[in-house]
Amino acid sequence: MSLLRHIFSIRSIYVLRFLPYIIPCLLITSCSGDAGQSSKTALQKQHKPRDITDSSKAQPVKIAIKRSTDIEVMDEKNIRFNGKLKRYFSFSEFQSVLGEPDSTKLLSDEEPCTNIFQEPDGSVHPDAKYLYKNGSRFECSQGKVAIDEVKFGNGDFIVFGNVSLSKQTTLAELKKLFPNAAEHIGIMDVAGEGELQVIQLREDKNNISDGHINIFIRNGKLYSLHWWFPC
């Protein structure tokens, strides 16, 4: 028994002697384990796949674009009569492109309620007249000419933008070109012509003009075009 006690005493002495070295080692091992576990956990979180279930079920967003309901404009700047003449030109240009008029009438004899060319005081020049060519009518005053009415039956046509309007143009084509105005298509009793279908267009985007442009249709085809202005 005394021998055993002596051995245990010796072991105790060695344990106490090396205890300051043993504790730090135990602490380092423990910390290393915790650090490794923490790093592993962080790495797992970093590489955790994202849940894309919600995004894959998301429906595409539809944006409704409201179509303008404004009546379409036939701006005179975008018009070429027979592909060459603007709405306003000179009498010499008339002769060069169309030749001599088929007939003429003084405005004073016709007494229209409105006219295109007016004197500063609102009167009409005594020599102002209508020029007629192929059924179409032009107003002429002091060497200036303006288109008043186009009749498409004898071959005259209008290029509007990139579209040619002629006697072959159908009502269906006009509805595609002027969908908003065509929704208000009506019937008008035209002097000397009878009842015709009519589509009315604006002259300018800002509605500065009080007038409008009448497009007349007969038997489903483009028949005539007239710049109308209130008296």
What pLDDT is attached to residue 7?
A: 43
What pLDDT is attached to residue 19?
A: 47
What pLDDT is attached to residue 85?
A: 97
Q: Looking at the domain assignment, is residue 40 inside a domain?
A: no
Q: Looking at the domain assignment, is residue 38 inside a domain?
A: no
Give backbone dihedrals phi and psi of 171, rounded to 5 degrees, phi first: -60, -40
Sign of CA dihedral 131, 137, 142, 144: negative
Q: Looking at the domain assignment, is residue 109 inside a domain?
A: yes
Give the span between the Cα atoms of 111 and 216, in whole angstroms. 23
Q: Looking at the domain assignment, is residue 220 inside a domain?
A: yes
Q: Looking at the domain assignment, is residue 86 inside a domain?
A: yes
What pLDDT is attached to residue 43?
A: 45
Give the span between the Cα atoms of 95 and 104, in whole angstroms. 14
Q: Looking at the domain assignment, is residue 62 inside a domain?
A: no
What pLDDT is attached to residue 121?
A: 82
Print pLDDT tens along the chain (231 aa): 444 454 444 444 444 454 455 444 444 444 445 545 554 454 455 545 555 455 555 666 666 666 678 999 999 999 999 999 999 999 999 999 999 999 999 999 998 888 999 888 878 899 999 999 999 999 999 999 999 999 999 999 999 999 999 999 999 999 999 999 999 999 999 999 999 999 999 999 998 888 999 999 999 999 999 999 888
What pLDDT is attached to residue 6?
A: 45
- How many structural domains is the chain composed of? 1
What pLDDT is attached to residue 130?
A: 98
What's this model's pTM, rounded to 2 decimal places? 0.71
What pLDDT is attached to residue 146?
A: 98
Q: Looking at the domain assignment, is residue 56 inside a domain?
A: no
Range of the domain at 82: 76-228
Q: Looking at the domain assignment, is residue 47 inside a domain?
A: no
